[in-house]
Structure 1
Amino acid sequence: MTIYSLYVFDRHCTCVYYHDWHRTKRPKPAVKDALLPAVSRAVSHQVSAIEGTPTPLSTFSSPRNTLISSSGVVVAVNEEAEYTKPPSSGGTQAQPPVQGSALAFDEEAKLACIIIRDENFTSYRTSTYKMHLYETPTLYKFVLLSDPKVEGPSARFALRQMYSGPFLEYVVRNPLVPMDSRERGIDNEYFRASVDRLMKSQAFFN
């Protein structure tokens, strides 16, 4: 069992924080002005001073092959939704339709937001991964994507710990972090480090 990635959405369903661990393929950086600043350096739009091209500020690699290998995209449609089979390549497992090698991160975040906005659930499972949702009293939504075998109660408890611990301490009570401004994400080094420690301490983190 393992976890893949974490999104935090505000009450406007805008992605304000992102963190990943065992993704095999990071999404493409967001297009210019499509993502709030300070969500994550790994997926924010960055411009190279030399070439003038978008580049992420951090590298990423993983020996695991845990996500949809043809896309690296981890947001999904409901399991009951219609799937299309990919061209025959030795396997017969149906996959959600994909275009290109990966989505830009802002598009991926929008898909995740659509799922949690239109569905009433605390977690749901696909053959590839499981999505866990914890919503705070102030309508912030913590979305964790994990291995399908991760138990829902355990993941939700971890998300609740994240909210009552690092989120309240380093975000809500921090006067330097704009809350609900729709202008900036909530990323800061203390919150990110605390989230990383918390998730790595979970029994289902591998």
Structure 2
Amino acid sequence: MTIYSFYIFDRHCNCIYNREFTHLDHANASGVGQVNKNNDSNASKLLFGILYSLKTISAKLIDSESEAETAVANALKSFTIGPYRAHYLESLTRLKFVLVSDDNIDNLQAILWELYSVYYIRNVVHNGLSPIEFKQSDDFKENETVGKISNSGFITETDQFLQSLRFFN
């Protein structure tokens, strides 16, 4: 059982954070990987497209129209494709948190909620230097951090938290 990647999408459908984990056989090398290198890749765009489509379908499958908006927003919790499972949480501010793991891990809703309510709120929302909107600039260069979460505290704390989980490796 393992976690392969962690994505955050904003309400404008942009991937604002991407963390890929590379799991090696060496005990000390687990967790190395890339941060914010694949935000604009086809993989992140396809993942968002799948999430959007499945969320729309799951919202239509809810029987009662009296369901709360949060129930509709979070009707989709996870889905499995081949050996991978994507775990999904959408906040009330329409941020989408996604963890990609192997298909043996059943439910990571509590983990996603902690990533949002503790680490994202503390390091990004409460940070006065962090942008409110992660817009892409017209002069965007590949190695520039505009439109991405580049807060070192957020990256370090989420890495430590995810690597401390018993099923990370």
TM-score normalised by the chain length of structure 2: 0.71
Deviation at 1:187, TM superposition (A): 1.9
Match of 1:106 in 2: 41
Deviation at 1:111, TM superposition (A): 0.4
- Provide the rounded CA distance (Å) in 2 between the counterparts of 1:130 and 1:112: 11
Q: Does 1:173 align with 2:136?
A: no
- Provide the rounded CA distance (Å) in 2 between the counterparts of 1:14 and 1:175: 21
- Provide the rounded CA distance (Å) in 2 between the counterparts of 1:41 and 1:126: 23
Deviation at 1:42, TM superposition (A): 3.7
Deviation at 1:179, TM superposition (A): 2.0
- Return the match for 1:150 from 98, 102, 105: 105
Deviation at 1:150, TM superposition (A): 0.6
Deviation at 1:106, TM superposition (A): 2.0
What aligned pairs does 1:1-206 form with structure 2 within 5 A after superposition?
1-22=1-22, 40-43=35-38, 105-120=40-55, 121-152=76-107, 155-183=108-136, 184-206=147-169
Residue deviations 1:121-160 (CA, integer Å, cap 9, x gap):
21011231101001111110001100100112xx111111
- Provide the rounded CA distance (Å) in 1 between the counterparts of 2:134 and 2:98: 20
Whether the aligned pair in 1 keeps the contact of 2:123 and 2:153 (CA below 8 Å) is: yes
The list of structure 1 runs, each at least 4 consecutive aligned residues, that deviate by more than 3 angstroms after superposition, is 39-44
Residue deviations 1:76-114 (CA, integer Å, cap 9, x gap):
xxxxxxxxxxxxxxxxxxxxxxxxxxxxx5211110110
Deviation at 1:200, TM superposition (A): 1.0
Change beyond 3 A, Cα 1:116–1:23: farther
Q: Which secondary structure does the structure 2 equivalent of 1:5 belong to?
A: strand
Q: Which runs of 5+ in 1 are unaligned?
A: 25-38, 45-104
Q: Cα RMSD between the aligned structures?
A: 2.0
Whether the aligned pair in 2 keeps the contact of 1:133 and 1:144 (CA below 8 Å) is: yes
Whether the aligned pair in 2 keeps the contact of 1:16 and 1:187 (CA below 8 Å) is: no
Q: Which secondary structure does the structure 1 equivalent of 2:105 belong to?
A: coil
Higher Cα Rg: structure 1 or 2? 1
Q: Which secondary structure does the structure 1 equivalent of 2:41 belong to?
A: helix
Letter in 1 for 2:48: C
Q: Which runs of 5+ in 2 are unaligned?
A: 25-33, 56-75, 137-146
Indicate the percent of aligned positions where both proteins have the same amino acid: 33
Question: If each structure's strand is expressed as a fraction of its own residues, which one has the higher value?
Answer: 2
- Provide the rounded CA distance (Å) in 1 between the counterparts of 2:134 and 2:19: 21
Q: Which secondary structure does the structure 1 equivalent of 2:22 belong to?
A: coil
